Chains A and B, each alone.
Chain A
Amino acid sequence: MDVEDVFSSKLRIKILKILMQVGELNVSEIARRLGVNYNTTSKHLKVLEDEGILQHKVFGRIRLYRLNEHSPKAKGVQNLMEAWEHANKQ
């Protein structure tokens, strides 16, 4: 996927922002924070995971998503968000 396609979605940006703030979360909780349903959330999570930006762990029926610490793309996103937050605070 091209970068403009990945970041064309407001929900995906929000997912990245949430996971950067809290570290890791399950699908239902991400959906609750986004204010959208489970399926929509799962769809966006899959896109981000397919791009290697996110990774997940399964515990029984629970899937916990987090930024993929080994991915250069995830690091890039993290740097961008931090720079953005920092600039907005000044």
Chain B
Amino acid sequence: MPQYLSVFKDETKLDITYIPGRLPHRDRELRLLMEFFSFILQFPAKMAQRVIIFGDVGTGKTVLSQRFGVDITHEANKLGINLRYVHVNCREYRGSLFLILYHIVSVFHPTFPRRGYSAEELLRILLQILDEENAYVILALDEFESLVERESSEAVYKLTRLQEIRQDKPQRLSLICILRNLKVIEQLDASTRSTLQSNIISLVKYSKQQLIDILNDRVSLAFKPLTVPEDTISLTAEIAFSEGGNARFGIELLWRAGKYADAEDLDAVTPECVRKAVSSIIPTMRKSDLASLSFHEKLFLLGIARIFKEGQKAYISLTDAEQAYAVVCEEFNMKPHSHTQLWKYLQTLSGVGIVETEVSAAGNRGRSTLIYLSRIPIHELEKELSVLLEKEEV
């Protein structure tokens, strides 16, 4: 039996549950979070904290909170403080306060019965457990929107105003509310809003270069050396950037691309593996989009597809594309259109989402337009274009 070779060194490092040791481009936010909770390491019983982390999908909200959770728990345990970080995805618990509280209680008592009491009783039980064990909890409520939608202000009020019903007792429960959009906070009543809104960490969308750094970090952990070329990382980052700067999407895409490389017995993850991977995730190439292109737009696109097919490149220049288009025109006995016309075709192709373009940084020879064929496997594209062009020729 032939030996199974893989490009992966440890693919679990690309898993959604993996918490990396360092968070590129989120160190400032991590420090801020640590600052907000630094009191826990000195006077854990004296106060409780509430922090909001918000940002779009894939901006690192969850991983930031989890990394913080690991770090602060480690620090607290070193000082002999019984601190637990509990991360709950509210959507997974259907936004139910009862189920969320049950989850926290089950961290301390895994076989605690599921039935026979209300959310209020469960909250009291939780505090009793924390008092008895002299424990403190930082509760991270991920996808906080679900909780607000299902339980409205009431549930959040109970969590944030917990201490008011137990005056002079140690403060046990701090909150991190993780959400995509601050609008949901507007749905809460004024007093709940005011207790929540004092500490807000906003995560902005990652730039392409930041995504490259993040992907490079994960590549070094998950893949064998020299199996993921720079072009592949750049293309993956480009696609992740176009998906709203979504780092998680980029990491998953890289994993999938690695699987394609393994399936084809390749010793490296090529940009084509990324294209195949992305087209398996998002059905981006609609045949109707291709059919609606003009004859010369199709010729131009065929030229672009052929260069990518030959070179295993992540991107090409407009000049490369023009030359390839000239060859295709010769093949089809057509007179090539002008540079300006091709520029317009490129805008059309980009508008439909078949290619993506980027203006390169000014180099020795000035700026030039780079073309990415991000989401479409070349073989599929070339085949489809050939069929359409043959039909039109007839």
Residues of chain A touching chain B, judged by Cβ–Cβ distance below 8 Å, are: 22-26, 28-29, 57, 59-62, 64
Contact = CB atoms under 8 A, between A and B. Distances in A.
Interface stretch (B123-131, B227-235, B253-261): B123-131
Nearest to A22: B111
5 contacts: A28-B113, A59-B112, A60-B117, A62-B113, A62-B125
Nearest to B121: A60
Contacts of B283: none
B103 to A, nearest CB: 16
A28 B245 CA distance: 51
Contacts of B109: 24, 64
Nearest to A59: B125
Interface of B: 109-113, 116-117, 121, 124-125, 128-129, 132
Contact of B117 (A22, A61, A64): A61
B312 to A, nearest CB: 56
A62 B111 contact: no
Nearest to B132: A57
Nearest to A62: B113
Contact of A61 (B111, B112, B116, B128): B116
B113 A29 contact: yes
A64 B132 CA distance: 14
A59 B128 contact: yes
Contacts of B121: 60-61
B125 A26 contact: no
Contacts of A28: 113, 116
B110 A23 contact: yes
